[in-house]
Structure 1
Amino acid sequence: MEIINARLRHQPELFTVTIKDGIFTHITPQTQAITISEGQIDAQENLLCAPFVEPHIHLDAALTAGQPEWNQSGTLFEGIERWRQRKPMLNEDDIYQRVISTIELLVQQGVQAIRTHADTTDPSLVGVKTLCAIRDELKDKIQIQVVAFPQDGMLSYPNGLALMEQALEVGADVVGGIPHFEYTRELGEESVKTLIGLARKYDRLVDVHCDEIDDPNSRFLECLAYEALKYDMGHKVTASHTTAMHSYDNAYCSKLFRLLKNSNINFISCPTESIHLQGRFDTYPKRRGVTRVKELLEAGMNVCLGQDSIFDPWYSLGNGKLLRTLDFALHICQMMGYQDYRQALDLITENSAKTLCLEGYGIAVGNSANCILLEGEDDYSVIRRQGEVLLSIRQGEIIMERQAAKILTPNYVKTN
């Protein structure tokens, strides 16, 4: 397979990209546009990009908004209550059908890797077990990491710690946590130390819902970063949300950033959900309630963006489009300079891949031939137009194609 007349990020020339046996074998500059011939794909000067990565979503809860009741207040805490009502209705078939539908939605929008959280505060662990089974079933189509996530608290929920260990033994890839939702600060701190211990014991990655609250006194991020630094495992540790950082004063943040930088941990922000859930207790002035994305990036830390929810008790919208999430983030975080645009796709591609510790990611000779074709010639034009994902190729096979890319070898199943 050859892709001709392709733009690559931050490169002025057109390129021909050659794929053989599922691997990128040649990336060759072109002096001018060339005419398509048999066996080639004409990119038509659109942007060939590494696939989108969804680093933070709750697939076990997807497509359940309003079941059995809607989150009327729009708060994080009512969302947890509504999900608590929905959990008794969970079964393998229910989860499987919703998850498959949501994954198909994501694939249609250029996503080829997903990190999904699965609630462990359910004695049956049906969410964890079903998501691990789906991960294994779809491994050739999409890469999935399953987080063992104690929604109601690992130490505050009855038998919560034992359920976490059981989830890891079932096969969860990542250890989760929610220290700000434990009953006391002491339990929150203990939960951070415990989950790091579990990650070391089972050799797992870590992704913690950390300080997803407006409370400026919620400071479990420093505990997580210190534990990561202590055991030199920051590259495997992720702090999700960290929305309390929006309420921290600058003096504290100046001290905190030194620890964060030294710890080498990753950050995930979910701006569409955070702008909706946070600031609910404010009148005016009203906080945005999104972590300090711009400042973290300027300090040289790894930050990426996730959707968090698609039509669930916490967020009743969502369409699988990470470009929409990116657009929200650029506005909310006031990252609207041209240089911000030039680097913006990093937030849903390279930075996310680094967070998930993905190997062989990116358009480079020798890597797996995973890529997407975006409508537009560079980051800026793709974001400004909110361009479509025209084509998605995984391991050299076309898994999704839209009308704009001209294909002369229709030996694949076309999905629209």
Structure 2
Amino acid sequence: MEIINARLRHSSDLHTLTITNGVFSAIRVQGSRLSADGGQVDAGGKLLCAPFVEPHIHLDAAMTAGEPNWNQTGTLFEGIERWSERKPMLTEADIRRRVQQTVTLLIENGVQHIRTHADITDPSLIGLRTLCAMRDELKDRVEIQVVAFPQEGLLSFAGGLALMEEALEIGADVIGGIPHFEYTRELGEASMKKVIELAIKYDRLVDVHCDEIDDPNSRFLEVLAAEALFNDLGPRVTASHTTAMGSYDNAYCSRLFRLLKRSGINFISCPTESIHLQGRFDSYPKRRGLTRVKELDEAGINVCFAEDSICDPWYSLGNGKLLRTLDFGLHICHMMGYQDFSRSLDLITDNGARTLNISARYGIEVGRPGNFILLDGEDDYSVVRKQGEVLMSVRQGRILMQRVPAQVVPTGEPRDTRRAVAELA
């Protein structure tokens, strides 16, 4: 495959890229715009970049909002209650249907890398078993990491620790946790130490739902970061949400950031979900309920954005469009300067790849897998401003999907010329 007239991030030049045997074999600057022959893909001056990364989503719960009941308060804890009502209804066929629907939606919107959490506080482990099987079945279309996530507590849920080890034996890629949902502070701290212990024992990555609460006294992040530092695991450890950081005072945060930088751990923020779930107990002023994304980024700490939910008990909207999540996140986090815009796609591409620990095989470079997306824009700023469509997604030189932007025909009626050229089996 040869792609001509493509713009790359942070460059005003047009480029020609060649993919041979599924790998980028050549990337060169063009002197001027070229005319395509029958065997070339003409990017038309649009932005070609690495595929989007969805680093935090719950595929096992996707498309279940209102089943059997809606989350009326909009709180995290009622969401967990509603999900507990849905869990007994899970079957392999049910999960497969919803996961296929959701993954297809993500692929259509430029995602090729997904980290999904699977609730293991279910003795059947049906969600985790099904997601591990689908991870292997769908690997030619999308790369999936499965997190063994103890939704109702690793140490507080009866048999939770045994279920975690069983999940890791089955083949979970990542170890999860939820310390702020454990019954006591002591159990929360112990769960973080146990997660790191298991990561060493099983050689797995770590991704913890950490301090996803408005309580400024929820400070399990410091325990997770310290354990990662002491065991030299930082780049393999991720703290998701950390919304309590939005309620920490600056004096405490100044000390905390010293540890966070030394530890080297990653952060994931879910802007649309967090601003919806958090601040529910406030009158006014209401907190934004997000972690300190801007401050983490400025400190050189890796942070990325995720959608978290698509139509589930915690968030009843969601459409698979990470550009929407990025748009919300930039607004909510006060990252609206041109310097922020000019590298904003990092938050849903490179930073996410670093979080998933796949940077060595990710990106637009010779010798790396021939994976890319083509965006309706010329640079990060224009893509975010226009909320440009994903025009094409290519994986190892094979087109997963392709669409042409909607056009206006002479009658004035919009014409949708979108076409998807690959479907999930």
Q: Same fold (TM over 0.5)?
A: yes
1:383 aligns with 2:384: yes
Inter-partner Cα distance in structure 2 for 1:263 and 1:28: 38
Inter-partner Cα distance in structure 2 for 1:187 and 1:12: 53
**In the alignment, what sits opposite 1:315?**
315
* Residue identity matched to 1:397: R
Inter-partner Cα distance in structure 2 for 1:403 and 1:8: 20
* Residue identity matched to 1:126: I
The alignment partner of 1:308 has SS state of coil
Inter-partner Cα distance in structure 2 for 1:236 and 1:145: 13
**In the alignment, what sits opposite 1:414?**
421
Residue deviations 1:33-64 (CA, integer Å, cap 9, x gap): 11111200000000000000000000000000
Moved more, 313-322 or 358-367: 358-367
- CA offset at residue 415 of structure 1? 4.6
1:213 aligns with 2:220: no
Aligned 8 A contact 2:278 2:288 in 1 = yes
**In the alignment, what sits opposite 2:37?**
37
Moved more, 396-405 or 48-57: 396-405
* Residue identity matched to 1:383: V
1:368 aligns with 2:375: no
The alignment partner of 1:365 has SS state of coil
Inter-partner Cα distance in structure 2 for 1:159 and 1:72: 30
Inter-partner Cα distance in structure 1 for 2:72 and 2:31: 58
CA 1:413–1:56 in structure 2 vs 1: closer, same or farther (change >3 Å)?
closer
* Residue identity matched to 1:142: V
Describe how 1:391-410 pairs up with structure 2 within 5 A.
391-403=392-404
Aligned 8 A contact 2:246 2:288 in 1 = yes
Inter-partner Cα distance in structure 1 for 2:71 and 2:421: 38
**In the alignment, what sits opposite 2:265?**
265
- CA offset at residue 141 of structure 1? 1.0
- CA offset at residue 31 of structure 1? 1.5
The alignment partner of 1:177 has SS state of coil
Aligned 8 A contact 2:402 2:420 in 1 = no
Aligned 8 A contact 2:392 2:402 in 1 = yes
- CA offset at residue 404 of structure 1? 5.2
**In the alignment, what sits opposite 1:408?**
none
1:83 aligns with 2:83: yes
* Residue identity matched to 1:335: M
Inter-partner Cα distance in structure 1 for 2:420 and 2:310: 26
**In the alignment, what sits opposite 1:60?**
60
* Residue identity matched to 1:140: D
Inter-partner Cα distance in structure 2 for 1:230 and 1:38: 57
| Unmatched 5+ stretches in structure 2 | 407-418
Residue deviations 1:13-41 (CA, integer Å, cap 9, x gap): 10001111101011110111111112000
Aligned 8 A contact 2:225 2:234 in 1 = yes
Residue deviations 1:357-416 (CA, integer Å, cap 9, x gap): 1131000000000000000000000000000000000011001001259xxxxxx98259
Percent identity (aligned): 72
Aligned 8 A contact 2:399 2:422 in 1 = no
Inter-partner Cα distance in structure 2 for 1:256 and 1:399: 43
4+ runs deviating over 6 angstroms: none
**In the alignment, what sits opposite 1:73?**
73
1:147 aligns with 2:147: yes
Inter-partner Cα distance in structure 1 for 2:356 and 2:22: 22
Describe how 1:31-180 pairs up with structure 2 within 5 A.
31-180=31-180
1:346 aligns with 2:346: yes
Inter-partner Cα distance in structure 2 for 1:404 and 1:32: 24
Inter-partner Cα distance in structure 2 for 1:388 and 1:404: 7
Inter-partner Cα distance in structure 1 for 2:67 and 2:422: 30
**In the alignment, what sits opposite 1:285?**
285
1:300 aligns with 2:307: no
Inter-partner Cα distance in structure 1 for 2:367 and 2:39: 21
The alignment partner of 2:361 has SS state of coil
- CA offset at residue 83 of structure 1? 0.1
Inter-partner Cα distance in structure 1 for 2:302 and 2:396: 26
- CA offset at residue 129 of structure 1? 0.2
- CA offset at residue 336 of structure 1? 0.3
Q: How many residues align?
A: 410
Inter-partner Cα distance in structure 2 for 1:413 and 1:52: 17
Inter-partner Cα distance in structure 2 for 1:133 and 1:340: 39
The alignment partner of 2:373 has SS state of strand
1:242 aligns with 2:242: yes
1:21 aligns with 2:28: no
The alignment partner of 2:176 has SS state of strand
Inter-partner Cα distance in structure 2 for 1:313 and 1:35: 50
* Residue identity matched to 1:233: L
**In the alignment, what sits opposite 2:416?**
none
* Residue identity matched to 2:301: M
Inter-partner Cα distance in structure 1 for 2:92 and 2:33: 51
Inter-partner Cα distance in structure 1 for 2:29 and 2:305: 31
Inter-partner Cα distance in structure 2 for 1:12 and 1:311: 39
Root-mean-square deviation (Å): 1.2
**In the alignment, what sits opposite 1:10?**
10
Residue deviations 1:336-362 (CA, integer Å, cap 9, x gap): 000000110000000000000113100
Inter-partner Cα distance in structure 2 for 1:415 and 1:175: 32
